[in-house]
Amino acid sequence: MSPDSHILDTLQRATSTRNMLSATRNSNGRFAKKTQIPSPRSSPVESISSSFSDYDIPTPDHIDTEIDISDIDSEYHHSASPFGFHTPVHSGIGNFVSLDTPLSSQPSSPPVPHPHLPNTFPTGTDIFTTPFTYPPVPPAPPAPPAPPVPQQRRRMSIQRIEMFFGDGRDSENPQDFIKMLEVSFDHDSSLTPAQKCERFRRHCRSTMDAEEWYDTLDATTIADWDKLKTAFNIQWPPRQRIKPTTAERTKELRNNLLADEDILKRVEKGGITVYGFAAWISEITRMAALCDTGNAHIQSVYETLPKIMRDQVAETTLTDWATFATAVRGVSIAKLRDAIKEETRHKAIEEQLADLARRARVPLATSASAMEELQRALGGLSLGTPITPRPYVMNAPAAHTGGAQRGTRLFASYPNSTTPAAPAPAPAPYIPAPPRAPVLFRPANERLVDLLRTALPQHPDTAAGHAAYVRQIADYATQHGSTKPHETRPYPLKPGTLAVSTGACFKCGTDLPRRHTSRECFSATPVPDAELRYRMVAAVCHGLIRGPQPPEGFVAQAVRMIEVTNLTEAQLADLQAEGAFITEIDQGNGNGLLV
């Protein structure tokens, strides 16, 4: 069977099926009960048409019954459905009619045909031979006109250019000004050379040197930007910068120290808040890139770090600056906080122990010594007979035999007294007294006078200076042996070290590579132990550190100092007889006393 005849046969069977279904409905629109629908023999369409040929004529007994399709062949049981058998049928005018719709519910008026379908369909083979004509497509609307192109505006420079004075002020760099002006040219590529020169004139401060110089240029120069720039560089040449040498950069590198209190201090670095140790390592790596490309100073910089940081950074990272910087930046903040707390606790304990040790070095006077002092004080008492005051005798002579020298001054100091001492009947030659027993406590101001009076000269850091220093140590050993030095028994200072009471370390006598204490000192060339003790005594005399505390009930007497530079030897001897100390102090450059 050809495809055309098969389709026509299908349409005819569908029409007959619709008529049969319409005839088998009762008054309520329900289908009459059938006897049996046989299985399809050739095709689904032929099965449907042949199955309806076996329907019985509806009778009144079948009004309330429905078609039973439970015995349909299993070939059609693809899926269960709750609905009845439903087959749409074409109406002939382009619509489909449901077969299970009651006849009474059909509209009385004919349905409105579809506007784009023909009223009748062709029959036979015309359905395949007659071409279908589609309705004409309406013409497309005209395209809207293109919007007008907006006029491109000149972009303005984001950064403001300051007016140029040209008078050489420190806050102005002519080369920076010309660079900023050329940056503004990049935002407007349509500028001509003459317009660039005009913009330069507008940025010159009125009535100032730059504008006056511009007005003296010829017309050719102010019309060509290259010529104007050449003339500008001649008038304001670039400033020559003094570049530091490698040695200076190395010294700056080693002096860039990280203090304990700056480790976790918050600082601004490039607009970002960072910790102090991170800012320090950034600066160190920048400086090292300029002067230490061979990684020769990593060890020395590492040794200047606080002990807290050295404990967190392993020495195995000192191979190069990049590895060292990575290790410093990778230090745990939590571990640093714990280490700082522990270090603070240790320092507090050490200060308490040192305070207890200082108090233990000042014992109370024994009963025997107290009795001796009382007997000596009461021994000269008498009733009705005035006592001639006993002259004060010094430990060692202090007056110069040849008078005061130029560049020095002599001062006489003695305790204040409301009753002036009686003058000696006649000046007597000075007789050294035997050394007194050491006093348990002396005020710092009195000790400072002796310290300045007895200090030994410090020799320079040269070969001759070191030889003289060795002789000084030998002289001290000959005179005092292993006795510890103090303010009246000075010890020579090592050449190349700082003077006493200047903030230098007691152990090494310097403040390099940074100011540090004796506990933090790691110098390989410390000073002798006797010099270390002498520096500590000097710090006590100057009041830099606490010395022995006065006993209970002690009242210190103020020391008065008067200048006696121009007195004669006899007058100085009279002052000594009255109990005054004669102290020689170097005047220096005449602008004040150098202590």
Alpha carbons 141 and 593: distance in angstroms, whole number? 106
Cα distances from 90 to residues 13, 47, 200, in angstroms, run 12, 19, 90
Comparing CA positions, the residue from 51, 32, 27, 55 lying closest to residue 40 is 51
Give pLDDT, residue 75.
46
Alpha carbons 172 and 495: distance in angstroms, whole number? 48
Instruction: Tally Cβ neighbours within 10 Å of residue 217.
Output: 17
Handedness of CA 492, 495, 500, 505 (dihedral sign): negative
Give pLDDT, residue 572.
65
Give pLDDT, residue 563.
58
Give pLDDT, residue 536.
84
In the chain, the largest separation of any two C-alpha atoms, in whole Å, equals: 176
Side-chain-side CA neighbours of 241 within 13 Å: the count stands at 4
Alpha carbons 542 and 357: distance in angstroms, whole number? 20
Q: Is 410 helix (H, G, I), strand (E, B) or coil?
A: strand
Give pLDDT, residue 44.
47
Q: Which two tokens stand for residue 586?
A: 């170097």
Q: Which two tokens stand for residue 68?
A: 């039973």
Distance of CA 411 to the CA centre of its chain: 55
Q: What is the mean pLDDT of each run of 10 residues along the chain (595 residues)?
A: 63 64 52 48 47 46 45 46 51 53 51 59 56 76 79 60 91 92 88 92 93 93 93 92 89 90 90 92 92 90 90 91 94 92 87 79 54 59 46 42 46 51 52 54 77 88 90 90 88 90 83 78 85 85 68 55 63 62 50 36
DSSP string covering 131-156: PPPPPPPPPPPPPPPPPPPPPPPPPP
Q: Would you put residue 30 in left (φ > 0), alpha (ψ -120 to 50) or beta?
A: beta
Alpha carbons 393 and 396: distance in angstroms, whole number? 9
Q: Which two tokens stand for residue 219?
A: 């017309």
Cβ 308 vs Cβ 340: under 8 Å: yes
Contacts by residues 288-297 (CB-CB < 8 Å, ≥ 24 positions apart): 288/253, 288/321, 289/321, 290/249, 291/246, 291/249, 291/250, 291/253, 292/250, 292/253, 292/321, 295/319, 295/320, 295/321, 297/250, 297/253, 297/254
